[in-house]
Structure 1
Amino acid sequence: MTSRRAQIARLRLVALAALGSYALPGGRLTFVSHGENTTFRHDSAAGRHLVRVHRRQRHGRHIDSAAAIRSELCWLEAIRADTDLFVPEALAARDGATTVEASASGETRVCSVLRWMDGRILEGSARPVHLRRLGAAMARLHEHADRWTPPPGFVRIRWDYETFFGDVMIYGDTSAADCWALLPAELRTRFESVAVRMAALLPRVGDQGLIHADLHLGNAVFQHGDVKLIDFDDCGTGPRLYEVAVALWELRDGPDYPIFRDALLAGYLAHRDVDATRLDDFIALRQIAFDLWYTGTAQVNPAFAAKLDDVHRWSLAMLDLVETRSAGT
């Protein structure tokens, strides 16, 4: 496995190559993250931007990644035009395209550039008021999705049973089926029991449509009483209750979870209805999706590999927490 430092250094050269396609002055490129995509902050006289170097096959084995990224940016443009929600703005390249293909050091990737969104991420220090604001913004996002008609050629992930439990996705460079095979036997058995339950539940979930699909506190930027929604990289069609579950998932095992849950739901219900009866089932579903993604990413990213056993233990503890209630409903 190539070292994390070497991976980032190689992809930094790709980001620099991509910047040549944009009408941006020279500036400073600073590393931000290396997980799903690899991102850098670009500071110049034109302001601050986020440069995204997208992972190959990010959106599933049968989806054109470039088309999927353009579709993500198309929805963001519509949200900005039709609402006053704060979401990222894509910067067009010199040729007008919202994505470019860049190559360096034998690596070719699809890249995109977004205007930076200022504010604070409160993933470890949020208060109930922040969950209320996030719930309200989430509901308004879903309202927009229900009104909006995607253009021809729009393609995004379908968050259905096959995507969660089949062999649709590629995590890192590993197929979903191979990620299942890499799981410890006890964990795989527990995940399979959830799959049986969700096979009956997912088709009966009524409220479905475009969702962000990763709208937890790490993807919410707070500033001056506003919440800004970032990182739409997972967006696609799926159950709205899954969206709610993602926002609460990392809080589920904390002592203040009931307060945070009620705050998020209050914000959401102020704008539209949601039936949260089976919320814990969808939190379990999110835990499985996260663990499979983490398992695949750990095969190519040393930082993830070092924490993989901890993630597996967390998954078992989370299922212990939520499954008693789920089995009784």
Structure 2
Amino acid sequence: MEAEEQHFLRKSYGWDNSTSFTLIQEGENKTYKVCSSSGNWVLRKYRRNRFDASQIKAELALISTLRPHFPTPSILKNQDGELLTLDVQGSVEQIYAVFQFIKGNTLHLPTAKDYRKLGFLMRRLHDVADQVQKKVAEDWPGWSRPLYDTVTLIEKPLQRLISASFLTEEDRACCIKTAKHIKGQLEQLGLGKRQFVHGDFHFGNILVTHDRWVCLDFDECGWGPRSFDIGTVRLHMRAADHLTKMWPFFSQGYGKKLSEEEIRLGTALRIFYMSGKIPIRQDIEMVRREPAERSYMRFINEEITG
């Protein structure tokens, strides 16, 4: 991190000159561990041109509203009392947020018991969100989070994919065929009730401490079908070749019964949505090196064909 950026952040949060910034993760956003005299924090530097300031304010408002009822890190306000910090240099806008640092680990080799607990935690998040949204006002910032509808889940991802220079004509034809198939199923089943979804709920975004599991990374959260959240877990299970073995345990933990057709469609939509992000994430080395769109299309086919 450049010295000028560090100076801006120290001034914004009232940190002294001894405060250090260490990069700990780079992907959709950059994440830094901040060590200051006032404590340790996690700084998120949001990926530019992904979400605007109003949508990120909505994300932070959602986390703050959920936190009294569900385990999420607290958010540190800046010197102006704001949850979001904005640095504007000419036409370039950079957005930051700072979260409580929590000592813990992520699970790299989850067991059946872990998958059951993950299902329980997702169900708890969904139930808490249902109760919270009944109580908030119409002008609550959280309502500004993205809507996962047909345009977001199918049409925009398809346009990105067929415009991607690294895809072959055969790949593009496969993407078009898959989108058509999913859209046809969607027209038959519908998206169901639009409710709060975390948008990226998996073990990589769960921090395990000595006494609890804490849910992280709400920057994909929005409003859509609950099967979209469940689809994130199924995608990770498929990628790890754990679906057959572990799905029953997650399903048992989640508890609430959704139809198999609804779950499979939600999973297909989740995977297609993720495929559409590949062309706009080519600045991330891992994505550029292993685009994964072919395996994604295979996963979708396995879901929609049963």
Shorter-chain TM-score tier: 0.7 to 0.9
- Structure 1 equivalent of residue 163 of structure 2: 181
1:218–1:15 distance in 2 versus 1, CA, 3 Å: farther
1:245–1:121 distance in 2 versus 1, CA, 3 Å: same
* 1:242 is aligned to 2:228: yes
* 1:22 is aligned to 2:7: no
| Cα distance between partner residues in 2 of 1:198 and 1:213 | 19
What 5-or-longer segments of structure 2 have no aligned partner?
A: none
Shift of 1:253: 4.8
- Structure 1 equivalent of residue 60 of structure 2: 73
Preserved contact between residue 85 and residue 95 of structure 2 (Cα < 8 Å): yes
Q: Deviation per CA, 1:116-150: give whole Å up to 9, x if none.
A: 2321111x311111111111111111112212234
Q: 4+ residue stretches of structure 1 with deviation over 6 A?
A: none
- Structure 1 equivalent of residue 126 of structure 2: 142
Letter in 2 for 1:223: T
Report the count of equivalent residues.
296
Preserved contact between residue 160 and residue 202 of structure 1 (Cα < 8 Å): no
Q: Which moved more, 1:197-206 or 1:132-141?
A: 197-206
| Cα distance between partner residues in 2 of 1:248 and 1:238 | 17
Preserved contact between residue 182 and residue 268 of structure 2 (Cα < 8 Å): no
* 1:258 is aligned to 2:253: no
Q: Deviation per CA, 1:97-133: give whole Å up to 9, x if none.
A: 11111257995401111112321111x3111111111
* 1:286 is aligned to 2:270: yes
- Structure 1 equivalent of residue 146 of structure 2: 157
| Cα distance between partner residues in 2 of 1:45 and 1:145 | 35
* 1:53 is aligned to 2:40: no
Letter in 2 for 1:295: P
Which of 284, 293, 299 is matched with 1:318 structurally? Answer: 299
- Structure 1 equivalent of residue 74 of structure 2: 89
Q: Deviation per CA, 1:69-116: give whole Å up to 9, x if none.
A: 1111111111112x1x21121111111111111257995401111112
| Cα distance between partner residues in 1 of 2:23 and 2:240 | 31
| Cα distance between partner residues in 2 of 1:16 and 1:280 | 49
Preserved contact between residue 15 and residue 51 of structure 1 (Cα < 8 Å): no
Shift of 1:52: 1.2
Q: Deviation per CA, 1:266-313: give whole Å up to 9, x if none.
A: 1111xx443343433333322222222122111x334432222xx133
| Cα distance between partner residues in 2 of 1:15 and 1:239 | 40
| Cα distance between partner residues in 1 of 2:21 and 2:97 | 14
Q: Structure 1 vs Structure 2: percent identity of aligned residues?
A: 22
Q: Which moved more, 1:225-234 or 1:178-187?
A: 178-187
| Cα distance between partner residues in 1 of 2:177 and 2:159 | 16
| Cα distance between partner residues in 1 of 2:294 and 2:257 | 35
1:144–1:296 distance in 2 versus 1, CA, 3 Å: same
1:202–1:316 distance in 2 versus 1, CA, 3 Å: closer
1:166–1:199 distance in 2 versus 1, CA, 3 Å: same
Preserved contact between residue 145 and residue 222 of structure 2 (Cα < 8 Å): yes
| Cα distance between partner residues in 1 of 2:23 and 2:89 | 17
Normalising by structure 2, report the TM-score.
Answer: 0.86
* 1:38 is aligned to 2:39: no
1:130–1:69 distance in 2 versus 1, CA, 3 Å: same
